[in-house]
Amino acid sequence: MRMVVTGGAGFVGRHVAAAVLEAGHECTVFDAARIQRELGDRGVRQEFGSLSSIEELRRAFRGADVVLHLAGVGDVYLAAEKPWLAAEANVLGSANVAEACLAECVGRLIYASTWEVYGHPVYEPLDEQHPTNPDHPYNVTKLAGEQLLMTYDSLRGLSVVALRLGTAYGTGMRANSVFSVFITRALRGEAITVSGDGRQHRQFTHAADIGRAFVAAATSAIRHEALNIVADETVTIRQLAEMVVAEAPAPLSFGVARAGDISPARVSSAKASAMLGWEPRVRFSEGLHDLIEHHRSSITADGS
């Protein structure tokens, strides 16, 4: 199949593009930023452009069978600082992607949503029947994009699946992510400070597992469905910090709790398991070790 990954130069997008290649499909990346040389060497074609341009999207989608849509504002801090930008990219940008799909006769679209659309948990584990009540510009706009695309499925005939992704980790993460901050500081021998008591938890999901979920959804027959793609393991921020300093010894302290963090909750991916046969493969301890080693080798290569 011919697949286009919007946002394929970004952190999760590049893992999705790699998964597309590993599954034996053709891959094109649509992004304003340049893709990694490794992806280019493996045969990924790149189309540069913006979500605001339907013509640029159409050019990238021409001849494709399915679009994996990850482009948009994925940084919660940027979304909080510039809600208008999050709305423009995550809502209007998603509508433009759908319009370009229809114009180029691309019949299938897989959308990157987030587990955070549920908001404060009414019950746990959170499944896809749980009410959605987002309360932050990031998850509000991601849910709006998801719901808008579902109307393209029901009213315009575009086959849509939304994947509500867990908190992703892996190589290529943003420098302001808790993983990058903890690991970089620890490798430099600097103190790590955990916000609050560190008991807040997440089901961190490796980006490689997310990539496999996109490919599974793209090649399935399901449509008009939202599926949680979240790893089973629950890890607290304190545990994350302790695991980092166990491999890269550094002082560990606790500070003031950070405002605006989404409430922790258990999330179920049973529906994705049943409908896609998807299960997470990367254990958190293994994924974290690989990430620390990647950072270590990068620091050594930079000589700093």
Q: Determine what percent of the chain is predicted with pLDDT higher than 70.
A: 96
Question: What's the pLDDT at 262?
Answer: 66
Q: What is the dihedral of CA 283, 285, 290, 291, to 10 degrees?
A: 110
User: Looking up tokens 């593009």, which residue turns up?
Assistant: 17
Q: What pLDDT, on a 0 to 100 scale, did the predictor assign at position 260?
A: 57
pLDDT for 259: 62
Q: What's domain 178-199+234-262+290-302's architecture?
A: Alpha-Beta Complex (3.90)
Q: In the predicted model, what is the mean pLDDT of the chain? A: 95
pLDDT under 50: residue ranges of the chain:
none
Q: In this predicted structure, what is the pLDDT of residue 299?
A: 75
Decide whether 2-170+204-232+264-281 matches 178-199+234-262+290-302 in CATH topology.
no
Cβ(68)–Cβ(5) below 8 Å = yes
Q: Where are the domains of the chain?
A: 2-170+204-232+264-281, 178-199+234-262+290-302
pLDDT value for 270: 98
- Find, among 106, 75, 118, 112, the residue nearest to 94 by Cα: 112
Quote the pLDDT of residue 43. Answer: 95
Question: What is the rounded distance in angstroms from the CA atom of residue 266 to the CA atom of residue 119?
Answer: 12
Residues 146-172 pLDDT 10s: 999 999 999 999 999 999 999 999 999
* Per-residue pLDDT, 197: 86
Minimal CA–CA distance to 44: which of 14, 1, 10?
Answer: 14
> CATH for 2-170+204-232+264-281, among 2.40.50.140, 3.40.50.720, 3.90.1150.10, 2.60.40.10?
3.40.50.720
**Peptide bond before residue 125 is cis, with ω within 30 degrees of 0:** yes
167-172-177-178 Cα dihedral, nearest 10 degrees: 80
